[in-house]
A = this chain, B = another copy of it.
Amino acid sequence: MSKLLIVGTVAFDAIETPFGKTDKILGGAATYIGLSAANFKAKSAIVSVVGDDFPQEHINLLQRNNINLEGLEVVNGGDTFFWSGRYHNDMNTRDTLDTQLNVLADFQPVVPDDFKNADIVMLGNLHPAVQLSVINQVNKPKLIVLDTMNFWMDTTLDLLKEVIEKVDVITINDEEARQLSGEYSLVKAARIISEMGPKYVVIKKGEHGALLFHGNEMFFAPALPLEEVFDPTGAGDTFAGGFTGYLAETKDTSFENMKNAIIYGSNLASFCVEKFGTEKMQELDIKAVNDRLKQFKSLTQFEINLT
């Protein structure tokens, strides 16, 4: 089995949407990525940090999902990273109410020996210095996938560019792609970002789907139109987990197979938003995912025979 190494936050989230409000629940980029990737046949590990306030039941949940946690540092007397946000009525925009870095502030990632030869490395959204440290600890992975956000472009762009130079795939949202490239057209933005390093550029457009660019080739996966979006938290990370999990299972990083990985990423993300936090991802099995794949097919596939 391929090895998938995931670095990212493991956190507490407090979320408010028009549908309700949670106390501190399990969250974090690595958590969503890991739970999503767990739907595929691969050996995965999370490199992250939590405080000793992080409950054993969350650890158990991740382990039940076959996620290796040797690289999850537990800081005695430390508090776990905490994020709190409130979504607007349209569910597309949100305000951050509180961010407490806590143990994340001094995090020095340590990649477990058994994952230094990971086939795929998924760098979840984190300080670029942490991402760079992980890149420097692994030994020629087949594929490095980077997720990042505008905050790092605003505060530590040079270091971020150093990371971007070293990765194969970058996933960012449309606004971030425009900010990073200085181009409004996503086609132009993707080309400029690709020249910074990554051969593959994935632009996430939330409810409007995701675009994959590679040279002059493009692929698009829609988001599945849903009756109700309950909580969008973690959808982008779940997408990344489905994308990398599928690539790890199939051991094929061709553009053609990346199309499928993008579809699986969108597929998994469509589940994530149906309940609060990681709730839906905890109960998901591959059968439900494959059933939903049929919906993606009927949503997008057509037969035109030119006359």
Contact A187 B299 (CB under 8 A): no
Number of this chain's copies in the complex: 2
Contact B302 A220 (CB under 8 A): no
A:127-176 near B, CB below 8 Å: none
In the complex, chain B residues whose CB is within 8 Å of the CB of A300 = 219-220, 300-302
Additional A-B contact list (10), CB under 8 Å, known A222-B222, A263-B304: A89-B184, A90-B184, A185-B225, A185-B226, A209-B222, A217-B298, A218-B299, A260-B304, A297-B304, A300-B301
A226/B298 contact (C-beta < 8 A), A205-B208, A263-B304, A304-B260 known: no
Name the distance in Å between A306's Cβ and chain B's nearest Cβ. Answer: 6
A:202-256 near B, CB below 8 Å: 205, 208-209, 211, 217-220, 222, 225-229, 256
Name the distance in Å between A47's Cβ and chain B's nearest Cβ. Answer: 29
A:271-307 near B, CB below 8 Å: 290, 293, 297-304, 306
A260/B306 contact (C-beta < 8 A), A225-B187, A226-B185 known: no
In the complex, chain B residues whose CB is within 8 Å of the CB of A187 = 225-227
A200 to B185, CA, bound (A): 32
* Closest residue of B by beta carbon distance from A191: B227
Name the distance in Å between A221's Cβ and chain B's nearest Cβ. Answer: 8
CB within 8 A of A185: which of B184, B209, B228, B263? B228
Name the distance in Å between A9's Cβ and chain B's nearest Cβ. Answer: 30
In the complex, chain B residues whose CB is within 8 Å of the CB of A209 = 208-209, 222
Contact A259 B218 (CB under 8 A): no
Contact B293 A304 (CB under 8 A): yes
Contact A225 B211 (CB under 8 A): yes
Contact A259 B293 (CB under 8 A): no
Name the distance in Å between A94's Cβ and chain B's nearest Cβ. Answer: 16
In the complex, chain B residues whose CB is within 8 Å of the CB of A290 = 306
Is A24's CB within 8 Å of the partner chain B?
A: no
In the complex, chain B residues whose CB is within 8 Å of the CB of A299 = 218-220
A226 to B188, CA, bound (A): 9
In the complex, chain B residues whose CB is within 8 Å of the CB of A208 = 205, 208-209
